[in-house]
Amino acid sequence: MRMFENYSLETLNTFGFKVSARYFVEAESVEDIREAIAFAARENVPVVPLGGGSNLVLSGNQEALFVHVNLRGKEVVSRDGETVCVKAGAGENWHEFVRWTLAEQAFGFENLSLIPGNVGAAPIQNIGAYGVEIKDHFQSLEALDIQTGELKSFSLDECQFGYRDSVFKNAARDHFIITSVTFSLDAELSPRLDYGRLRQEVEQRSQGSQSEAFVISEAVCDIRMEKLPDPMVLGNAGSFFKNPVVDESVLSKLQRDFPDIVAYPFEGRWKLAAGWLIDRAGLKGFRQGAAGTYNKQALVLVNHGGAGPDDVLGLAKHIQSVVFDRFGVELEMEPRVY
C-alpha cells in the first residue's frame, strides 16, 4: 500500500473540482483499508471512503485521509429455480456489474443501468430508478468498522433503507467502509415497465438476438444519456436534489395552482418531480457564473468550466430558495458535501 500526500482529487470527483486530500491511498484489499485507518488514527485525521466520486461535493481541500476503495471481484454465490445470489466487491463499477448480472441470467437491476458510481456506494444511497431500488434485491453487505478494523455484516433490516437513504447516512455515518455487497436477484425476468417512457422505448425496439433484459437495459441507457450529461464532458454529480415526498393535502393544494404538476404515488404519500419544480421555477438552463442547471434536465447541476464548490453550493441554495418561494416545497440535496 502506497500513501500519497497532498493528492489531487480533480479526476476523482465528477464535478472536476480542483481540490486535494491531505493523504490518499488506493485500497485493493480489506487489509489495505485496515492499514489506512491505522495510519489515519496515528495522524489524527478523519477517514473518507471514496468510490466513483459521483455523489459528493468536495467543498475545498480536505484535511483527511481519502481511501479509494478499489476492492474488485464478482461471483455467483448460489442459484436455484427462483433466485440467483451474487456478490461483488465495493470497487466494482455499478453499470458494469449490472450488465454482468444480466449476462449471468440474474435479473432485477436492468432498470438501474448506467447509474454512475461503484457497488459499494449503492447501498448508502439506496440507489433507484424507474420503479426499482437496490433494497428490492438486497441480501447483505460487509463493512469495515473504522474504529476497530473489524468486519461487520449488515442485513436488510440493519441497513434501514429508505428513499435515497440508509443507516450509512444516519447512525452509521462515517463509522464504516463498505467492502462487498451481496444481492438476491431473480432467475426469471419480471420486467418493471411502470414508467411510460421506458415502456414505450422497450416496445419500439426489435429484440433481435438479445434477451428482453438487455433491451430494457439499453433503453434505460439511451433515456439517461439523452437527458443527463456525461461528467467527462460536463462536470456534474447526477441528480442533485431528491424528489420531495409530500402528503396528499399538500399535493391537492399544489394541483389547484399547478394542474400539470408531476407526482407519483409513493408509500401512501406522493413524490414530486424535483426537475419539474426547478423547470417551472424558470431555472432550467439557468447559469450563475460557471455553475448552472443542465439545459436538458433541470435536476442536474453542472460545472461549465472553472466552477468551484462554492459556486455549485451557492447555486443549489438559490434553487432551493426559489422553489420554496414558488411552491412551498423544500428541496434536499442528494450528494454528500465534504
DSSP 225-256: HHHS--TTTSEEEEE-BPPPEE-HHHHHHHHH
Of the residues 28, 104, 212, 334, which is catalytic? 334
Of the residues 34, 164, 224, 280, which is catalytic? 164
Q: Does the active-site annotation cover 334? A: yes
Q: Does the active-site annotation cover 211? A: no
Q: Is 87 in the same domain as 184?
A: yes
Mean pLDDT, the chain, rounded, equals 95
DSSP string, 291-329: EEE-SS-TTEEEE-SS--HHHHHHHHHHHHHHHHHHHS-
- pLDDT of 208 reads 52
Over residues 16-41, mean pLDDT: 97
pLDDT, tens digit, 9 for 90 and up, residues 257-315: 999 999 999 889 999 999 999 999 999 999 999 999 999 999 999 999 999 999 999 99
Q: Is 275 in the same domain as 326?
A: yes
End-of-domain residue from the set 168, 203, 227 = 227
Is residue 334 within 8 Å of residue 292, measured between CB atoms? no
Q: Is 95 in the same domain as 27?
A: no
Q: Is 265 in the same domain as 245?
A: yes
Of the residues 20, 184, 217, 239, which is catalytic? 239
Asked if pLDDT for residue 107 goes beyond 60, the answer is yes
- pLDDT of 81 reads 87
End-of-domain residue from the set 69, 85, 109 = 69
Range of the domain at 41: 3-69
Q: Sorting pLDDT into bands at 50, 70 and 90, what band is 207?
A: low
Number of structural domains (the chain) is 3
Single pTM value for the model: 0.92
Q: Is 7 in the same domain as 149?
A: no
Q: Does the active-site annotation cover 164? A: yes
Q: Which residues contact 321 (CB under 8 A, 6 or more apart)?
A: none
CATH code: domain of residue 129: 3.30.465.10
Q: Is 182 in the same domain as 253?
A: no
pLDDT, tens digit, 9 for 90 and up, residues 114-163: 999 999 999 999 999 999 999 999 999 999 999 999 999 999 999 999 99
Q: Is 56 in the same domain as 85?
A: no
- pLDDT of 146 reads 96
pLDDT, tens digit, 9 for 90 and up, residues 171-197: 999 999 999 999 999 999 999 998 878
Cell of 156: 436488510
CATH code: domain of residue 279: 3.90.78.10
Q: Is 212 in the same domain as 115?
A: yes
End-of-domain residue from the set 227, 259, 283 = 227
pLDDT, tens digit, 9 for 90 and up, residues 310-333: 999 999 999 999 999 999 999 999
- pLDDT of 196 reads 79
Identify which of 52, 40, 58 has the alpha carbon closest to the alpha carbon of residue 1: 40
Q: Is 52 in the same domain as 128?
A: no
- pLDDT of 206 reads 62
Q: Is 25 in the same domain as 105?
A: no
Q: Is 266 in the same domain as 163?
A: no
CATH code: domain of residue 53: 3.30.43.10
Q: Is 173 in the same domain as 267?
A: no
